[in-house]
Amino acid sequence: MSATRSRANPGGARVLDMGEVLPFRQRKPEWFKVPAPGSARFRELNNLIEDQGLHTVCKEAACPNIGECWQRGTATFMILGDTCTRRCGFCNVKTGKPTFNDPLEPLRVAQSVKKMGLRHAVITSVDRDDLPDLGSTAFVGVIRSIRRMAPDCKVEVLTPDFRGEEMPLARVIAERPDVFNHNVETVPRLYPLARRGSKFLRSCRVLRNAKEMGGDEVVTKSGLMTGLGESKDELLEAFQILRDHGVQVLTVGQYLRPTRDHLPVVRYWHPDEFAELEHEAYAMGFDSVAAGPLVRSSYHAEQTLEQAVSSTQ
């Protein structure tokens, strides 16, 4: 891949000037140090997932919280293959023309959820703009299969935007997942840089529609990254727009550059700044907020759901 066609430099697009950025090899601040996963339970679950030929975002995205989450009984499965039809500048999932379409995948995911003894399963996918249903039917299959095989496990779906189409979304919400999550990822100004092919307000409308369709039975959730050059005011404005669209749960974490071919980091936000963002978000009326350098979309997913449900009762 040439430098002009990397995710960091998507050729042919109007790319914003990020200004001064941090070098790829620069040492990260000390608050990013976490113990490497290596418990017996982690190894057991890892072997189980590999034996089933499944993909997890925990591993694909090299999530720093993988050991903690798997120990707690939460895991994020990525369905519909590992090749995405979009090219987001921050994402480490490979992009191209997908060929994967396994009708038995929902059953295999549900079997793994049961064997792993998960209390909270997060189901996400690559963007599948190539499919007529945009991948929505696969989400339906996974939700139904988990409900049959592991009825005590909460189900959270983290879906693409389905290009803003209502029928794929309605199909998923009709299954009443416990949580509907769709990440806006960054502030509106940075969408031409980081999320080509997506639109901030379209994503917000997806979240609003999900809440209107699911009512009190479905908790809505979204998340953003810091570190791409956004300001605090821009983040707070994005939070408020999400809140105005009925989002109940918010996650905010630091972007970490996966490779040289991805967007660079402009700066690392300090834990104290994340604490301020969390305080401001609660003041806007979110039911549950998780903000911190290592927070990812599924971080403490079970606890944030409990908090959101209890606050609405």
For residue 6, what are its two tokens? 């990397």
Residue 162 CA to residue 49 CA, distance in Å, equals 27
- C-alpha dist (Å) from residue 25 to 21, 60, 192, 251: 12, 21, 26, 27
For residue 33, what are its two tokens? 């140090």
* Residue 117: other Cβ atoms inside 10 A: 12
For residue 64, what are its two tokens? 């720093």
Per-residue pLDDT reduced to its tens digit, 52-80? 777 776 666 666 777 677 677 677 888 88
Instruction: Note the pLDDT of residue 74.
Output: 75
Half-sphere exposure of 232 (CA within 13 A, CB side): 13
Angle between helical axes of 166-173 and 200-214 (0-180°, round to 10): 40
Instruction: Note the pLDDT of residue 110.
Output: 95
Q: By the 8 A CB rule, do 242 and 222 touch?
A: yes
Instruction: Note the pLDDT of residue 12.
Output: 38
Q: Could you tell me the pTM of the whole model?
A: 0.87
CA angle 223, 308, 213 (to 5 degrees): 75
pLDDT in tens, the chain (313 residues): 344 455 666 543 344 567 788 988 888 888 887 766 767 777 777 777 777 777 776 666 666 777 677 677 677 888 887 756 666 655 656 667 777 778 899 999 999 899 888 889 999 887 777 788 888 999 999 999 999 999 999 999 999 999 899 999 999 999 999 999 999 999 999 988 888 778 999 999 999 999 999 999 999 999 999 999 999 999 999 999 999 999 999 999 999 887 787 788 999 999 999 999 999 999 999 999 999 998 987 766 667 777 777 776 6
Half-sphere exposure of 114 (CA within 13 A, CB side): 16
SS (H, E, C) 134-201: CCHHHHHHHHHHHHHHCCCCEEEEECCCHHHCHHHHHHHHCCCCCEEECCCECCHHHHHHHCCCCCHH
Instruction: Note the pLDDT of residue 191.
Output: 87
Q: Which of 103, 146, 102, 104 is nearest to 123 (CA)?
A: 146
User: Residue 125: in which H helix or E strand, if any?
Assistant: strand 120-125
Residue 261 CA to residue 250 CA, distance in Å, equals 28
* Residue 306: other Cβ atoms inside 10 A: 14
